Amino acid sequence: MPINYLKKIQLGEFNEYDFRISPSKAVESVIEGFYVFSKDPKEETHLLFSDGFPVLVFLQNGEDTVSVKGEGHATEIKAVWASAGTIKNVYVKYSHCTAQIFIVRFHPGAFYRLFDLGATYFRYHPVAAFEPIARANHFSIKSFFKCHTIEEKIAFVTNYVQQSSAQMDTPQILHQTLDYIHKIKGNSTVRKVTSDAGVNYKWLERSFLQHIGLLPKEYIQLQRFIHAYFELVEGENVDLMRIALSNGYYDSNHFLKDFKVYTGKTPLQYLKFQSACC
């Protein structure tokens, strides 16, 4: 999802224009939350990032479009996109029509079973149009956009999930391991995670690939980077070594390498880009 919205989700930065609505108990094992964000008309281009939670990002109207730009290519997506996995150096540019974004954020693993997808579906294309997935699973995007209020949209998605026959059977120990990784913000190693969680590495690797579509190391890296990113963009002084070490990086060079991979820019280049967009 757009990293500026993910930042608000992770840090709980909500207000009357940007807010979270909790799912009902009937679907809370599938949906982590519903989110509404008002897009600043000055902000046309955003970096996309995934913290491992698959999302559906609905534009305001069924005819609205975005341009998704990766290295050397751009794709136009209409109405709604899905994203998960590891997103590297991909940006979204909005049409001027969209003023409000509606996001459904799924628990890792649940999305794939709900829409009958392999967990590695997004491995090589982490940002994709939702339309072919929806068509194959009888999710009517046209009917969704006939819903005019946020409450109606939430009810539509909730009813769809409740009517699904998919079995949401992610192992409890995997849930606990994911919660542990989130709690420590990825500031650990795979070996330490397996030791602290009391699980076997081979089992953990197999379970991650089966349910999450990522290796444990990749998932930990996502959590580590996103929190280092928050510290960078929130801070007044750019002290890369301090940020790197406080978030579990061996040194600033390792953080710089990750930053370039995920954003396509150095931290200073990215901060200048972000200032120019706002």
Average pLDDT on 255-266 reads 95
- From residue 153, how far is each of 98, 145, 148, 159 by CA, in Å? 16, 8, 7, 10
Residues 188 and 261 in one domain: yes
Q: Which two tokens stand for residue 90?
A: 């991909």
The residue out of 139, 163, 187 marking a domain boundary is 163
118 and 199 share one domain: no
Enumerate the β-bridge partners of residue 127.
83
| The dihedral formed by the CA atoms of 260, 90, 5 and 64, expressed in degrees to the nearest 10 | 160
Do 24 and 137 lie in one domain? The reply is yes
Given a cut of 90, whether residue 274 has pLDDT beyond it is no
Going from the C-alpha of 37 to that of each of 34, 66, 99, 149, the distances in angstroms are 10, 16, 9, 14
CATH code, domain with 271: 1.10.10.60
CB contact set of 138 (below 8 Å; sequence gap of 6+): none
19 lies in the same domain as 128: yes
Is residue 223's pLDDT more than 70? yes
- Listed in sequence order, the residues at least 6 apart from 53 whose beta carbon sits closer than 8 Å to its beta carbon are 32, 84, 105, 106, 107, 108
Based on the domain organization, do 14 and 82 belong to the same domain? yes
Is residue 72 scored above 80 in pLDDT? no
pLDDT at site 44: 83
Distance CA 202, CA 204 (A): 5
Task: Give pTM, 2 decimals.
Answer: 0.94
pLDDT digits (tens, 9 = 90+) for 153-193: 999 999 999 998 666 677 888 888 999 999 999 998 899 99
pLDDT at 236: 77
**Are 36 and 127 found together in one domain?**
yes
Regarding whether 202 and 117 lie in a shared domain, the answer is: no
> Containing domain of residue 220, as a range?
172-277
Contact indicator for 182, 227 with CB cutoff of 8 Å: no
Domain co-membership, 154 together with 241 = no
Q: Do residue 176 and residue 156 come from a single domain?
A: no
> What's the confidence (pLDDT) of residue 131?
97
| pLDDT of 31 over the 60 cut | yes
Both 22 and 85 in one domain: the answer is yes
Res 221 pLDDT > 80 = yes
Cα 99 from Cα 181, distance rounded (Å): 34
Distance (Å, whole) CA 34 – CA 57: 10
Task: Give the model's pLDDT for residue 95.
Answer: 82
- The domain total for the chain is 2
Give me 190's structure tokens.
């795979």
Each residue's pLDDT tens digit, 230-242: 999 987 778 999 9
Separation of alpha carbons 88 and 45, rounded Å:
15
What local confidence, expressed as pLDDT, does residue 273 receive? Answer: 86
**What's the distance, Cα to Cα, between the start and end of the chain in Å?**
18
Please indicate, yes or no, whether residues 217 and 268 belong to a single structural domain of this protein.
yes
pLDDT of 38 reads: 92
Q: How far apart are CA 121 and CA 83, in angstroms?
A: 10
Domain end, chosen from 108, 139, 163, is at 163
- The domain boundary, picked from 106, 129, 163, lies at 163
Q: Provide the percentage of residues in the chain whose pLDDT is more than 90.
A: 77
pLDDT of amino acid 168: 65
Average pLDDT over residues 89-112: 91
Q: Which residues are paired to 237 by β-bridges?
A: none
User: What is the number of helices (H) and of strands (E) in the chain?
Assistant: 12, 10
Among 40-44, 64-68, 96-100, name the most confident range. Answer: 64-68
Query: Residue 144 sits in a domain of what CATH number?
Result: 2.60.120.10
Q: Which among 39, 33, 43 has a CA at the least distance from the CA of 9? A: 33
Same domain, 146 and 180: no
The answer, yes or no, to whether residue 278 has pLDDT greater than 60, is: no
- And the tokens for 115? 């829409």
